[in-house]
Amino acid sequence: MPKRGCRQFSLLLLIVSSFVTGCENSVETPIPAGLLALSEEDRLAVMGQGHCPVDGKLLGESAAPLPATLKGTRIFVCSDACKSEAEKSPAKYLSSAQE
């Protein structure tokens, strides 16, 4: 039979772990300011893509991402300059956006 102190410690550990695991689900991640102007569908697409395929910047960090259609696939870029570059070499940036 386990000692009384060990049983109390096990119970305390169980209680603490249940509080800790419950807390991790209650923390919300803030939406970057640049994504607030987008529709929910576009926001989810941008968050799934993550980064601009041209310059690697995090999409939506400072401005609303711009959609670009490359070979029939819609992706997002961070600026007009990146959109122009992506449209010049669609195969290169399309594969980068889908990674």
Q: What is the four-CA torsion angle of 34, 40, 43, 44, rounded to 10 degrees?
A: 160
Confidence of residue 32 (pLDDT cuts 50, 70, 90): confident
Query: Structural domain of residue 85, as residue ranges?
Result: 33-97
Residue 72 vs residues 25, 42, 46: alpha-carbon distances, Å: 37, 16, 17
Is 28 part of any domain? no
Q: What percent of the chain has pLDDT over 70?
A: 71
Is 37 part of any domain? yes
Query: pLDDT tens digit string along 43-56?
Result: 999 999 999 999 99
Is 5 part of any domain? no
Span 6-34, mean pLDDT? 56
Query: pLDDT tens digit string along 60-89?
Result: 988 999 999 999 999 999 999 999 999 999
Is 9 part of any domain? no
Cα–Cα distance measured from residue 57 to residue 61, given in angstroms and rounded to the nearest whole number: 8
The pLDDT score that the predictor gives to residue 96 is: 81
